[in-house]
Structure 1
Amino acid sequence: MTNRRRQRWTAVALATALMLAGCGDDQADESAGGTASAPADGSYPVTISNCGEEVTFDAPPRRVVTMDQISTESLLHLGLKDAMVGTAFRNDDIFPSVSADYESVKVLAEMYPSKEVLLSVEPDLVVGNIDFFTYSGFPPGSNFTREELTGKGIKSYTLQCQGEQPDPERMFVRFAELATIFGAQARADQIIGQVKESLAATETVLAGATPVPTFIYRSGTGPLATFGGGGGSADGLRRSGGQNIFSDKAALPPPEVSVESVAALNPKAIVISDEDEQSPQDKETFLRGILSQSDAVKNGTFCVTDFYAFGTPFRLARDVNVVGKCLHPDKTFPAFP
């Protein structure tokens, strides 16, 4: 991994810690998707309840800045590239079906843009993921809060609220909400329908298959960073025909486990998350050494996922088939998209 990507990953790690510090916030009690009030015909005004903020749109935003890859790809999938005046914080390769559109959007910063850079493109809406408004300043204060954006007449929307417990269905709800802001409900409905149809086809392929006990490896040499149950990665693994061997652990904060506990559970497969300074190949070499007696190593069953695996509707549909094929090579999975 390049030094630039290492810096991006470090920023995400710091951001996650700050987000988790607010898990007791009242915003955590908000429903999975908040509420959207808009006429069925896509006319305006549209009012969205988002992370405790009521945001009203009198017309579709025309100058949007997306603060991370999840929000960037979400808008591009909705066909809104012409409304985007800037983007930031890309960690993975852009999803193939929107990569050409991405090239037409100005990249404001490798990480989060400064206040000055953000204002220079005169946004009327800023969209982010994981409540970036809370922690996107490194050091704190170097980026705008939601309140500061509102004070400057800039609206904001975030795809995950501070302190929310993981909820895989929330992704669909928030994606549809985002589309409502732009009057693109029909496109969102089409995408969600296609994705759920593909997920159903994958479920049919896996019908009767025994879930493969799987260790999700993120980073570390001991303890090892992994994912617990209930979150997006655990849900994606389940849909892929795997079973997280640490599903009994809480999703937040993401758990760390000992090498001995992994070995004792004897995973039959290992999913490597490509998210830090180690390459997937180096991670596999390391794991082969410390878990040499596991069935996963003996069988050579290693799967690799992106940093943002399962993170958008399109990524979810694609990644469950990619991981599914790795875990169940004898089965034929649907191609999506």
Structure 2
Amino acid sequence: MAGLTACSSDTGSTDTGSTAAAGLSDTAAPRISHGAAPECPALPTFDTPPEKVVTLDTAAAAVLVELGVGDRIVGTAGDDYTADFRDSAQFPDLYDTLAGLPDLDKEGRGNKEKVIAAQPQLVTGISAYALGSFAGTASESELADNGIHGYVACPDESGPVTDFSATDDYIRGLGAIFDVPDKADALIDRLHDSLPDTGTSGVPVLVLASVPEGGQDIRTRGAGTTANAVVTVAGGRNIGADAPGSMTSFSAEAVAEKNPEVIVVATGLSPQSPDEMVDAVTSSPLLQSTGAVRNGRVIAVPQTEMLSPGLLNSEAAARIADAVGEVK
């Protein structure tokens, strides 16, 4: 089976990696260096589709279930995406399925030994950072030393991220691995059909993952992020889009000048509840002059839908599009 690249960039180093696992073919797609995240593994190829898979998160598990291969999942190393499917309009049945998956580490992501002990042929997730960058997680080389291959979603952050190509590519890659390309294409079409029908309004949008504090710059997401794509697909304009990387900062005065008409609070990275974060942002003295605060357009979106590729990006975009559409 021909391999596909797991991510793309203008420049990259080629390395076929290990093929030690039983069932792996001798050739694989080239590995592509990635601008901000750790190097993305090449998409592995198998003589026969993997029978045992561990997902690094339940966002990846959701894709496998929708591709009809959820029965191959022997465990998940993180359930932090599960709750977001509880109220999903597009995937109403996924929550119970994801909640019932064996959790290899209920304490967090320090699960290297448990992932390897499960003896999967494939470990997959929606973030390259889950391969060794989070404390206690297995790196790609550690997996390979145990005859296991990794595959992750990989946004190309070498330029502005303005669509959900990373999600599409990840789904296509899994479709190739499990020899279900038609199901992968059908799932991608379903996601595309659910995108909000918006133009490019130019409505300025500020994305926050924490409440701004006095005396500090206001940090937001740059152009090279999934958040930028979600805002763009929603018809808005990320006020951080002129910054090429993943993060950028503005003074309170600069934010006031850019005057975001919608503020999106990416919840889940703070101990505060979504309502508490919205209230805190709305009450922040640094944001009182913005159109978003003055007109009550501060909305909460889970960071798991906003900041990473996945099936729920389109639902996040739809919620933001509703707020953008209110701007006259």
How does the TM-score come out when normalised to structure 2?
0.76
Choose from 79, 91, 104 the match for 1:90. Answer: 79
Quote the RMSD (CA, aligned, Å).
Answer: 3.1
Q: Where do 5+ consecutive residues of structure 1 fail to align?
A: 1-25, 36-43, 332-337
**Cα deviation code 1:15-56 (max 9, x no counterpart):** xxxxxxxxxxx987349xx99xxxxxxxx9684445364633
Identify if the C-alpha distance between structure 1 residues 82 and 54 changes in structure 2 by more than 3 Å, giving closer, same or farther.
closer
Any conservation in 2 of the 1:94–1:102 contact (CA below 8 Å)? no
User: How many Å separate the matches in 2 of 1:145 and 1:313?
Assistant: 22
Q: Does the 8 Å CA contact 1:48/1:55 hold for their aligned counterparts?
A: yes
Alignment CA distance shift 1:145-1:314 (3 Å): closer
CA contact (8 A) 1:223 1:259 kept: yes
The answer for the alignment partner of 2:141 in structure 1 is 147
Letter in 1 for 2:208: Y
Partner of 1:314: 311
Could you tell me which of 179, 192, 199 is aligned with 1:196?
192
Alignment of 1:301 onto 2:283:
no
Does the C-alpha gap of structure 1 residues 197 and 133 become closer, same or farther in structure 2, counting only changes over 3 Å? closer
Q: Identity rate of aligned residues, in percent? A: 25
Q: Distance in 1 between matches of 2:318 and 2:253?
A: 30
User: What count of residue pairs does the alignment treat as equivalent?
Assistant: 287
Matched, 1:229 2:223: yes
Gaps of 5+ in 2: 1-7, 17-23, 32-39
Q: In 2, Cα distance between the equivalents of 1:238 and 1:105?
A: 34
Label 1:144 to 1:216 Cα distance change in 2 as closer, same or farther (>3 A).
closer
Q: What residue is the counterpart of 2:63 in the other structure?
A: 74
CA contact (8 A) 1:269 1:301 kept: yes
Which secondary structure state, in structure 2, belongs to the residue aligned with residue 235 of structure 1? helix
2:11 aligns with: 29
Offset at residue 226 of structure 1 (A): 0.9
Matches within 5 A, 1:167-246: 167=161, 168=163, 169-199=165-195, 202-203=196-197, 206-207=198-199, 210-219=201-210, 220-221=212-213, 222-246=216-240
1:263 aligns with 2:256: yes
The whole-number CA distance in structure 1 between the counterparts of 2:141 and 2:127 is 17
SS of 2:311's equivalent? helix
Rate the CA distance shift 1:225–1:279 in 2: closer, same or farther, 3 A: farther
Residue type of the alignment partner of 1:88 = A
TM-score by length of 1: 0.74
The equivalent residue for 1:23 is none
One-letter amino acid of the counterpart of residue 266, structure 2: S
- The one-letter code sitting in structure 1 at the alignment partner of 2:183 is R
- CA deviations 1:115-144 (Å, max 9, x no partner) are 332233221211133324653452xxx443
1:240-281: CA deviations, max 9, x gaps? 1211122212233x1132222212222211111103223332
Post-superposition Cα deviations, 1:86-131, rounded to whole Å, max 9, x if no partner, equal: 1122334142421122133101114224333223322121113332
- State whether structure 2 residue 276 is matched by structure 1 residue 282: yes
Distance 1:296 1:106, change over 3 A: same
Q: CA deviation at 1:324?
A: 0.9
Question: How far is the alpha carbon of 1:238 from its aligned partner?
Answer: 1.5
Matched letter for residue 264 of structure 1:
E
In structure 1, distance between residues paired with 2:157 and 2:238: 23
Partner of 1:130: 127
In 2, Cα distance between equivalents of 1:314 and 1:165: 22
Equivalent in 265, 268, 271 of residue 272 of structure 1 = 265
Check 1:63–1:171 CA distance in 2 against 1; reply closer, same or farther (3 A cut): same
Q: Which residue of 1 aligns with 2:322?
A: 325
**Compared CA separation, residues 130 and 100, structure 1 to 2 (3 A):** same
Structure 1 position 160, deviation (Å):
2.1
Matched residue type, 1:227:
R
Taking the aligned partners of 2:273 and 2:45, their CA distance within structure 1 comes to: 44
The C-alpha deviation readout for 1:170-229, integer Å capped at 9, x for no partner, is 321222011210112111100111222333xx33xx34x733211111114232221122
Separation in 2, partners of 1:329, 1:104: 39
Structure 2 Cα separation of the partners of residues 296 and 161 of structure 1: 29
Q: Structure 1 residues 188, 30: closer, same or farther in 2, change over 3 A?
A: farther
Indicate the residue corresponding to 2:3 in structure 1.
none
Distance 2:204 2:129 in 1: 34
